[in-house]
Chains A and B, each alone.
Chain A
Amino acid sequence: MTITTNDSQVAVPSDTVTVIIDGVAVAVPKGTLVIRAAELLGIEIPRFCDHPLLDPVAACRACLIEVEGMPKPQPACAQTVSDGMVIRTQQSSEMARLAQEGVMEFLLLNHPLDCPVCDKGGECPLQNQAMSVGRPESRFTEDKRTFPKPINVSAQILLDRERCVSCARCTRFAEQIAGDPMLELLERGAQQQVGTAEDQPFDSYFSGNTIQICPVGALTSAAYRFRSRPFDLVSVPTTCEHCASGCSLRTDYRREVVTRRLAWDSPEVNEEWNCDKGRFAFVYQTEGRIEYPLIRENGELRVASWPEAIDVAARGLAEASSHAVLVGGRSTVEDAYAYARFARAALRTDDIDFRARALSDEEHAFLASLVAGSPVSVSYEKLESAPIVLLVSFEPEDESPIVFLRLRKAARAGTRVVSVGAVRSKGSEKVAAEMVWCAPGDEAAALASLPADILAALAHSGAVIMVGERAALSAGALSAVAALADRTGAALAWVPRRAGERGALDAGAIAGLLPGGRPLSDAQARAEVSELWGVDSLPHPGASGDALLARLGTVEAAVVGGVELADYPQDVRAALERVGFIVSLENHHSAVTELASVVLPVAVVTEKAGTFLDWEGRPRPFTRVLRDALTMPDAQVLGMIADAMDRPVGPSDVNVLRAELGTLGPWRGARLEAPRVPVGPRRDGLVLASWRQLLDSGVLQEGEPHLAATARPTVVMVSDATARRLGLTETATLHGPAGIVTLPVEIADVAESVVWVPMNSPGCHIYRDLGARPGDIIRVTAGGAL
């Protein structure tokens, strides 16, 4: 909302003030900082400690400017404009110019001449600003103060203390934004340095952001150190593939290999931040790739040509009379749509599902009724201004980190956060969450008896309910959430963990649903879709979820996308083993490829264009990064199979797929009813709680040891009372149907008679090792060897 008032007749809104900077008048909103106002005029006042998303500190003094009427120069980053203020920056004021030059000389004083070996060289605000406002030569001839270098502030972040200019961006980010004040300024005066506690590294999920905002080369990435110069890199805006937060990234590559990823500016979604998983976990894209199509012959997979492999796949699928399609949660919208189309139009089956995790029919009904194809009802912005946000079976910090950051921002500004769950996690503390204590499985009962004041708050305009994918494990939970939203009028958001889930849902990659949330059972919907796909009819409603997985035992052929069998609570491997013909579209070897009849390598996100729908339902498109990659997206491969089956499904080009989805558009017709599953029976005993930690044994995190070393330790969390009741001290052993797990004990804020362990971390994979799910009754004994 700014205009230069150069004789134009445009009316100036009344909540703006007019200031004159270097002779040019500009109208800006009240409360604008001088440094921001100057930017609007294209005037860049030098700065280090200033950052638009952090509270100003005016510590570096690089932004000193002259304010008419004030005898001393003022910091532009902390000076708010007042009407009629006259500002002169270094461009028109000798006082400002000399002040900035003086500060720059001081900044370079103890700064080492590391440029030749410093990662920041070439993209360094200190270099740039020294050139633009500094002296050509320094007058300093004394000895610079030195520190041993570099030191680790965490496994993935290195610190060269000498380079640090004490701008405190990193410490302020850690404290204000992430809520992890584990990085602090230590010592005093010229010895002041960034550091951590002696025995506690900076293991914050968001630590990587400090590397990005550090205006010098003090904080660098251990994974990227000494690897590249910025001018060697090609930068492409992309979208993160690791979760449903939908972050914008900037992916940098050199010679067709991705060297690093940065958070990119997206004010509506991730602002300027991302999490460490999104930043560092991309090694999987290059390592361990399946290069060529593979065909199983005599029990062994052998390399084949594309034409041969497609042919074998097509024949195998055509010969089978029953099919199942498992899409997985990593697909782009376009690829998921291709699976949906392929299943119904080529395979003529509706036995398809994208959910590679614990799920339920109740969830299917919930998604079909309230989520699929629905417009954005809760946005990040809405979170920020919500008076209350109720979290049900959802741990934002681990399960959708950027939602966490926004919730923390909201909570700091007064938003009330209430969490229905069994653990007051670190993430909960950092958003000041009030707990509605409930063991997993009891969510429906808890929601039915929420305190009156919370119910009243939820009825206020702007209230939000967020429910996670784990609610599927709790009978009646999603029904209760739907009912609560309906009753109170609060806006409802469903937040899955994976990046591809919302898109796959909206693309119709699940039984009973066609693209846009169209019910397969609706005649109008069927007509629209059949026409688009050029088919006479669509198959009868098929199986999804547990029924589909059970059906694997009897189906003749299966097409499987990016799916880890270990992510299902039940033993899907045993069922899949009985399928006669399996076509796997994968880029890494997995439990599925071990069973597959044909393995067709497909592109990773950098090798294709596509779109993810984030949890809001907002499209996050991205272009192809590696132009020379020879891989094909799933859609293209499926198209080739369909053609070879003589059941063409239409073009597979990503733009055409997007256009088709656009043509169909979201369903505005009648929807299936929301589920009404009753509350499950009461159980007695110790209940298992669990969720996937952000950094764990996930497949996409492989190959990045620096990142892995910052993961939270695998422990069993219990309350003090429960620990004493069970006699737990150092370690505890959990006994499940499939086996036992022994872990160190951590006393934490956990509901009574609940034990929490991570779902898939080193040393504990609850499905594989215990054979138990969250909500199950579990036996725990004291002790045990680790």
Chain B
Amino acid sequence: MTETLLGFWLALPSWLQILLANLVKIVIIVLPVVLAVAYLTYAERKIIGYMQVRVGPNRVGPRGWLQPIMDAVKLMFKEIIVPTNANRFLFIGAPILAFAPAMVAWAVIPFSDTLWLTNIDAGLLFILALTSMGVYGVIIAGWASNSKYAFLGSLRSAAQIVAYEIAMGFALVGVLMAAGSLNLREIALAQAGGAHHWYILPLFPLFLVYFISGVAETNRAPFDVAEGESEIVAGFHVEYSGMAFALFFLGEYANMILIGALAAVMFLGGWTTPFTPAVVASLPWLGDGIHWFLIKVSFLMFCFLWFRATFPRYRYDQIMRLGWKVFIPVTLVWIVVIGVAKFLTPWGYLFH
């Protein structure tokens, strides 16, 4: 059986082999991401529930484990309503534009030393370019809906995303200066050798700026004025229903996990172990591996949910002030500090 399959495989032309192998790899990455997104919504409701002394969803399946599956089934069977005078093509296209970049960016994430789909040299730039495209889904959704609330929500959201993207990009410039590479795998490898080598220590201000900008970039609480329920109903996706709405939802959560994964790779060493080589030599099961990556991402995701349960919503002008007048100067100063320390003082080794 295996021999016939192998013979069949070898008989295929080489370009088809590459294509099929890559397709299988893409499915292996995308399916867990979508599942993680589904169960992140469950985790969000459960964790916030416990933080507010309630139990959260517990009806569907044992302890509510099937809740996200049922939510998906319900959304799939709902009708997609297109508002009158809406631009039909863009109205349907906007959720896809919001969802696709969040998925494509996973192509360059290194899950472990050998597990990645592509290992391109300009990985960091690729990620920046893709995350900057997510805003189109929001803007087009707001405009195509032919609704004032949706439009106001999309304008707010677009201004916020553009503002925080600059701070985010500058924070990544710091990482780039420390690692001397745009390749995500090399950035993670530069932090190998224990938790004291992680960039979170020398680049702590940049880590804070990056993570908070990530929260703002994904329109999560406390920066969720884009959907501020108390003022503009639900923001840019107020007119959406059914699967079109679900795509926005999936895109938002996939972006959250992406921000967590990037923060893990760039500031927390990715898949590398937090223990020193001496400890790993005596206890080999503490060594590098994808499980460290997953643990770090899960912790950052928990922080996202924790913020949502803890902080009240920012006022809009305060969001803008924080982005433009606090974060951008902080990142600029720290970039200068890194540059001066690396090339003009003997303390350059602190930044590797």
Q: Do A and B come from one complex?
A: no
